Structure 1
């Protein structure tokens, strides 16, 4: 019963984190809009029926039923039609859609507040308004990662021995032999669990990274390890043996493959022990490293999104195996946080730290996804503003008159198509996360 309750708590924590992330994303847009005096009739978190709202002088703040997004509405999103055909009316569906968009935009502007319309703002102001949301998500992610690194600390390997291996096992060996033809160097030298290595060849070491580097580079070279065992200090002589290990990608941690798809290996020195780990507070450089790795992973998912969609379809309808590093919906994130919260054998501080880190990663995903230069995402509005600025700059460069604001209403058909595409992808991801979820713990 306790496990089920904790699982629910984890899901609720994920939903609260997502809701706050969306709310702050929209506050990023709202803050710049208010700063530049753009009138904002609505600020809403979620979609669907309104659960709660409060009207201020000119803005209605509210929460809607489905926490799958949010929005602010600004007056005058689209400029009126320019030129000699300003009064012409189209007859086709697309033309009518564009005209309806322009009409709705015009009707949103109260009399006397034309200068507060979104399309009237300078290009740099429109850019800041639309980039304010993703910027806020990037800030939230930095705060979450800083809390994990500075507050909770991060598990790091130490120079204290956790386990000593009896045998040398090359990469790719499926079964560990019951008897060793020759014992592993550490085992043969008398290294024991609990020993702490303090120096190599009489030179004090700073930590695990330095110790591991020395061992890996000292194939067949005798090393004198100074270790502390309880109250005793002693020297052990070990000679690292050559051992084949997989080469890992420093960003993803996955095994690298050659052009033929075979795992890449390298020969390194091997002593035969694992290091114990303990939480340690990290510096700002580590926060930057966490940030960079997360951004790199999310960008990779976005760039390969068509391929990922195919994989999700195969996982959802054909039973294919899920990629543990692949994308997931809010349902998948909720399930993962629920699984983490329900693990009684994991210390509470570890579970909380992991959930905070997940929320940070989620914010980076929200920011980067919203920067895709397609409507109705923020990146679509950014692209439109940039195009508007470039065409005006180019006209000025050529000595031509100002062409007027870019008719962003013409993008409405693309907006509708992409809205349907994003909705279908979202439903597919949710369905797959229900029928074939990613499990951290089996």
Structure 2
């Protein structure tokens, strides 16, 4: 039940984000005296609409987007004589650019507002956690190790186990840095994880049962001196992203987190301003990288449809994002739910900034090109060139739209048959 509620809530959050994006375009257009014909959420058949003034407002059957129909958005658009004084294409370039950027600005503001709310109400994750694979393998805390995947997911994801754990039984203590395991250097925590996976898998292959331990030599740096220890590695069962289980190795330690050393940074309403700015910039960097990497991630998504493993950082559609929202609510991860919605708004903003039609950034790029062209024309003693000839851009628009359609359909299918699993 909680999962279904989470799916519905996140889908509603997506729809609201899109609705506010399009409302940004509409509000900006109307403020400059442009005629907004239609404001709809969704695509396909209309399921409800009403008209107020010159604008028809409504909902369509497929809640996968939305649109704001502004009269004369390009020189190709048909218009009536009644609409002629209110055409967007006849407005100053700066006004048209503001209209095209308004939806993007709304998504950015909404994302920042969500992050600020989380910062004040709960605190924000220490972003160093996202790069734990690159930090030194320094023991922050020793723990017991749940033996099975079911044990690991029990107790609201905290896990269930008893005992001091292999790390503590091996003599490891807080502040120790593990520099080598079984003859291989472990410069980072990621290196340590890879080595433990290999040790655990080899032990399991040799017949060591889940819950049993194997011992390997390791080097530990303590108080500036290296010392050798016999590191106990427990063979455990863990769930993979595709839902299957695998056997791996675990020692039962929590890595020391850089900086404050806390999982969560806490703020008051004043300090939350800086915290929100820092975390927002962290999200922006991650969003930009994800957008640049998007083409290279397409084929792995295709492979996942036919049984390949779906990676945690795989692109997702509104279906996959809503499923992720359902998982987070099921496990009572409301903070992560809110931050995922903030991430979605930053991604919507970045995606729409892409300078290719039919994206908002593509239309904005045309407006900027018109101004640059007219500047050169003026230097040559020529009159402004007028609105851009969109007929020359139609092939690009069709190709980009087709690519987006195929990409979107592929990701939706993958989200149904082999979804990304957070837990």
Q: How does 1:280-319 map to 2 (within 5 A)?
A: 280-282=265-267, 283-317=272-306, 319=307
Runs of 4+ in 1 over 4 A off after TM superposition: 175-186, 240-243, 271-280
SS at match of 2:36: coil
Q: Is the CA contact (8 Å cut-off) linking 2:310 and 2:418 kept in structure 1?
A: yes
Equivalent residue for 1:338, pick from 326, 345, 370: 326
Unaligned runs of 5+ in 2: 129-139, 144-167, 181-185, 187-191, 201-212, 230-252
- Partners of 1:53 and 1:400 lie apart in 2 by 47
Q: Is the CA contact (8 Å cut-off) linking 2:218 and 2:228 kept in structure 1?
A: no
Residue 17 of structure 1 pairs with residue 13 of structure 2: yes
Aligned to 1:325: 313
Q: Is the CA contact (8 Å cut-off) linking 1:219 and 1:241 kept in structure 2?
A: no
Residue 422 of structure 1 pairs with residue 404 of structure 2: yes
SS at match of 1:41: strand
1:357-414 deviation digits (Å, cap 9, x = unpaired):
0100001111111111111111111111111111111101222222222122432332
Report the CA distance between 1:300 and its aligned residue: 1.6
Q: 1:37 to 1:440 in 2, by over 3 A?
A: same
- Partners of 2:341 and 2:319 lie apart in 1 by 14
Aligned to 1:398: 380
Report the CA distance between 1:292 and its aligned residue: 1.8
- Partners of 2:70 and 2:37 lie apart in 1 by 6
Report the CA distance between 1:64 and its aligned residue: 1.1
Equivalent residue for 2:224, pick from 219, 223, 243: 219
1:141-195 deviation digits (Å, cap 9, x = unpaired):
10111111121223569xxx75373236443442597679899799xxxxxxxxx
Q: Is the CA contact (8 Å cut-off) linking 1:75 and 1:109 kept in structure 2?
A: no
C-alpha RMSD of the superposition: 2.9
Q: 1:219 to 1:407 in 2, by over 3 A?
A: same
Q: Is the CA contact (8 Å cut-off) linking 1:302 and 1:369 kept in structure 2?
A: yes
- Partners of 2:376 and 2:12 lie apart in 1 by 47
Q: How does 1:368-387 map to 2 (within 5 A)?
A: 368-387=350-369
Unaligned runs of 5+ in 1: 80-101, 187-217, 221-239, 244-270
Residue 408 of structure 1 pairs with residue 387 of structure 2: no
Q: Which has the larger radius of gyration?
A: 1
Q: Is the CA contact (8 Å cut-off) linking 1:18 and 1:359 kept in structure 2?
A: yes
Aligned to 1:52: 48
Residue 77 of structure 1 pairs with residue 48 of structure 2: no
Aligned to 1:212: none
- Partners of 2:227 and 2:381 lie apart in 1 by 74
Q: 1:273 to 1:394 in 2, by over 3 A?
A: closer
Q: How does 1:165-244 map to 2 (within 5 A)?
A: 165=168, 166-167=171-172, 169=178, 170=180, 171=186, 172=192, 173-174=195-196, 175=199, 219-220=224-225
1:67-102 deviation digits (Å, cap 9, x = unpaired):
1111111111232xxxxxxxxxxxxxxxxxxxxxx3
- Partners of 2:254 and 2:11 lie apart in 1 by 44
Q: 1:274 to 1:419 in 2, by over 3 A?
A: closer
- Partners of 2:328 and 2:295 lie apart in 1 by 30
SS at match of 1:64: strand
Equivalent residue for 1:137, pick from 107, 110, 114: 107
Aligned residues: 325
- Partners of 2:386 and 2:255 lie apart in 1 by 70
Q: 1:400 to 1:11 in 2, by over 3 A?
A: same
Q: 1:69 to 1:182 in 2, by over 3 A?
A: closer
Equivalent residue for 1:362, pick from 339, 344, 347: 344
> What's the TM-score, normalizing by structure 1?
0.67
Aligned to 2:142: 163
Q: 1:278 to 1:36 in 2, by over 3 A?
A: same
SS at match of 1:110: coil
